[in-house]
A and B are shown apart, each in its own frame.
Chain A
Amino acid sequence: MEPMVVVRNLAKTYHNNGRAIQAVTNVSFEIGEREIFSLLGPNGAGKTTTISMISGLLAPTAGDATIGGHSITREPLAAKRLLGVVPQEIALYPSLTARQNLEFFGRIYGLSGAELARRVDEVLDFTDLRERQNDRVDTFSGGMKRRVNIGVGLIHKPRLIYMDEPTVGIDPQNRRRVLDTVLRLREEMGMTVLYTSHLMEEVQEISDRVAIMDHGEIIALGTVGELIQKVGEEDRLIFSVGQQTPPETLLAAFRGVAGVTGVAFERRETAGNNGEAVDGDGKLTVVAKRGRKALPDLLRLANEAGLNVLSVEVREPDLEAVFLQLTGRALRD
């Protein structure tokens, strides 16, 4: 069977003050019917640019893609008819009700009359919004807005739905609900899902296949199992070091320990008491074969370097470890 999506050598170059910036380089992949395919990568990796080209918002500098056999460059309208879009932001009209938003976008997708009314009802049922259908969207909670946002992408019953980081900024309960919705789209509606995220846990949970992107290129592609196999039986050891910053000499010493294949340090900003940005706790991540065996040596080296380790967490192999091994950086860097 012909794949639902075929991407061939897609590239996008921006020009800024005479300087060429390569946002996406030579990206190729295929997505089969009813497959959940995820693009995983840190912010700025090129995921959104790639998807924007596939959904016809950006003209590619080179290459092409087809959706259901229709080229996005030569038959953009036919390709777009098969595509539903769920953007990262809540792209709705807040002064309209949930039903009015669905009806409006339905009309823009060419639906009308009884067919439009039927589809709106189906989508309201699917997103569990029937009771609040006549309330303005600006009175909804963040999770409900997300559901309407997803509903608008489904209104014309697309064969392919693209969801751009749909769990950003919502609580764990609603996040769970969104992930369940993604799985239901495939199970109940037979849709193909193209999903982007920088959260490896959810990608790992829902995806059939994953493409890992960094600096505008796909650096790994396969099923979650295949990708994890790339790092073998390696564990991740995460050292919490509070406000301390380990010296480079210590990182080099860690790399010399038997079984260690990757070392990275990261410190994320958090909100202070008055809402201001403050430095959070530093985390030193080490990828190592038989991590538990390497742990005593690593703790000794840290102690010799004067680094006070507050806690150590040992994690089994996952996509985060794959990314760390492939790029030398943590996924959230």
Chain B
Amino acid sequence: MLAKIRALIWLELYRTFTDRNALLILIVTPLALATIIGLAFSGFIGDGSNDVPIRDIPLAVVNLDEGIETLGNQINNGDIFIEILVPAGDTGETDENVLHLLTDAIALDDPDEARARVDRGDLTAAIIIPPDFSRNLTITPDRLTIEPASIEVYANPAMPISASIVRSIAAGIANQIATGNVTIAATIGYLVDQAQQNPLIGLRLLGEFEPDFSPAFDPANALITLETQTVQGEAVTTFNPLAMFGAGVSVMFMMFMAQASANGIMYERQNGTLQRLLATPTPRMVILLGKLAGTFASAVLQLVLLFIFLTLVGSLLSGQVRLIWGDNLLAIALAIGAAALAASGLGALLTALVRTPEQGNVVGTAVILAMSVLGGTFFSTEGLPILQTLRQFTLNYWSIDAFTRLSLGETNIGLHLLVLFGLGAVMFLLGVIIFNRRLDI
């Protein structure tokens, strides 16, 4: 029986991937669409000014930093976050700080309140600066080294893109502070060494030493880029629009392919090849499973090819080789498998419910387009509360979100896999059962 199922899978793969017109629709079109949309949102095209397409991300800054007093000066590095992110009064259109356009930040005192507001969806993220932040990053006469410090970015998992941007911003500011403090530590350490070796230098410094370390803390001297390091030195993966739009378009076209492939059973019934298969000494359930396994295999291959081609496009545009959906190949493979199973299941169920292939085409297109719109293929649904509920009923949302998370270096896609595998298996099974009952030719 396995040999027969293998033959049916081969048939589906061969017919799909040797058809030039099909390849144009299944691979070239989604690749072109994803590239164009990705470029548009990356600022690679247009007037070249790299305009920020996402604005007013709501976030809170909670500064718990107790500061530190050294050599008579009170230092509070946490205040730097407030100064940079929270606008001082109404600056209106004259505000040229790009971060004030990108974010809509407020200062809060209570970290629990901030977290609660993030949980409710009022805020995308909260940056919580710990009490020992300045103490760890500042050198004192007693301690001429700086210690690692951590900042908590509490983000809404339902808004991965905006959360990623906030995390990048926080990392950028933290780096700037770390850079300044490292500069001070290095300078003072060097001068102390020199004074110990040559007392004359020490005496001169006592009269003339008026260092100005402010440039080391000036954010204007370092652009906040999406490629940053955390305080601990851990690499941060940044949001790539091509990854999200590529996932959205790939999943939508994969759903079209899976639906068309499953609907092919109806066409086979129309042109007699299905009857011919059913007249062979093969249980009809094996034929159905083989056909639908072929649909699943085609969907997997299509997504794998799109993953490879999107990676090539993304690498060419960014000038560095970078896998479009992240480096965790096992998780990517699982996500591709789950998305393909869900799409194949949907195709099987739709095919089982319609009476003619033409009806299958119309119903399938309508369902897939509706799911794509609600699921965030064409635009982000993060700011639309009603869609945030509806999108959870679409395969697109769970697939796109899983791939986007993977592209950001996250691995928390367990729920996504569970939903996609579960939905896929249920719809697949229902489709097979209903179709089998209707298979009296």
Contacts and interface: CB of A to CB of B under 8 A. Distances in A.
A112 B2 CA distance: 12
Interface in B270-286: 271-273, 275-283
Given A107-B7, A108-B4, A110-B281, A91 B18 contact: no
Contact of A57 (B3, B18, B441): B441
Given A87-B272, A91-B273, A108 B282 contact: yes
Contacts of A96: 11, 14-15
Contacts of B142: none
A19 B47 CA distance: 71
B440 interface: yes
A189 interface: no
A59 B275 contact: no
A104 B273 CA distance: 12
A145 to B, nearest CB: 12
A55 B278 CA distance: 9
Contacts of B93: none
A87 B279 CA distance: 10
B83 interface: no
B276 A59 contact: no
B279 A83 contact: yes
Contact of A80 (B6, B14, B280): B280
Given A80-B281, A81-B281, A89 B3 contact: no
Interface string B239-259: 000000000000000000000
A152 B283 contact: no
B7 A108 contact: yes
Contact of B281 (A78, A87, A95): A78
A308 to B, nearest CB: 45
B234 interface: no
A29 interface: no
B96 interface: no
A154 to B, nearest CB: 13
A81 B281 CA distance: 5
Given A85-B276, A89-B271, A91-B271, A52 B281 contact: no
Given A95-B18, A95-B19, A105 B272 contact: no
A62 to B, nearest CB: 15
Contacts of A110: 3-4, 281
Nearest to A162: B279
Contacts of A87: 272, 275-276
Interface in A50-89: 52, 55-59, 77-78, 80-81, 83, 85, 87-89
B7 A91 contact: no
Nearest to A109: B280
A92 interface: yes
Interface in A89-106: 89-93, 95-96, 100, 104-105
Interface string B411-441: 0000000000000000000000000000011
B388 to A, nearest CB: 44
A91 B268 CA distance: 8
B101 to A, nearest CB: 54
B440 A91 contact: no
Contacts of A105: 276, 280
B278 A112 contact: no
A100 to B, nearest CB: 8
A93 B273 contact: yes
A89 B282 contact: no
A78 B321 CA distance: 57
Nearest to A107: B7
Given A78-B281, A83-B279, A112-B3, A59 B19 contact: no
Contacts of A93: 11, 15, 273
Nearest to B275: A57
B441 A104 contact: no
Nearest to A91: B272
B276 A104 contact: no
A81 to B, nearest CB: 4
A92 B273 contact: yes
Nearest to B280: A108
B249 to A, nearest CB: 26
Contacts of A52: 275, 441
Nearest to B274: A91
Contacts of B14: 96, 100
A65 to B, nearest CB: 14
Nearest to A14: B440
Scoring B14, B272, B276, B441 by chain A CB atoms within 10 A of each residue's CB, the highest score goes to B276
Contacts of B19: 95
A107 B4 contact: yes
B279 A55 contact: yes
B103 to A, nearest CB: 54
A105 B279 CA distance: 11
Contacts of B18: 95
Given A105-B276, A108-B7, A77 B281 contact: yes
A198 B7 CA distance: 36
B279 to A, nearest CB: 4
B60 to A, nearest CB: 59
B7 A104 contact: yes
A58 B280 CA distance: 13
A59 B4 CA distance: 23
A17 B142 CA distance: 95
A96 B10 CA distance: 12
Contacts of A90: 271-272
A57 B279 contact: yes
A56 to B, nearest CB: 6
A109 B281 contact: yes
Given A85-B276, A92-B273, A58 B3 contact: no
A137 to B, nearest CB: 11
A108 B273 contact: no
B266 to A, nearest CB: 15
Nearest to B16: A95
B276 to A, nearest CB: 4
A260 to B, nearest CB: 43
Contact of A91 (B6, B8, B275, B282): B275
B431 to A, nearest CB: 21
Nearest to B22: A95
Contacts of B10: 104
Nearest to B278: A57
Contacts of A112: 3
Interface of A: 52, 55-59, 77-78, 80-81, 83, 85, 87-93, 95-96, 100, 104-105, 107-110, 112, 152
Given A89-B271, A91-B271, 16 more contacts: A56-B278, A57-B275, A58-B440, A93-B11, A93-B273, A95-B15, A95-B18, A96-B14, A96-B15, A104-B7, A107-B4, A107-B6, A108-B4, A108-B7, A108-B282, A110-B281
List of 6 A-B pairs having minimum Cβ-Cβ separation, nearest first = A91-B272, A107-B7, A89-B272, A80-B281, A85-B279, A77-B281
9 contacts: A80-B280, A89-B272, A90-B271, A91-B276, A93-B15, A104-B10, A108-B7, A108-B8, A109-B280
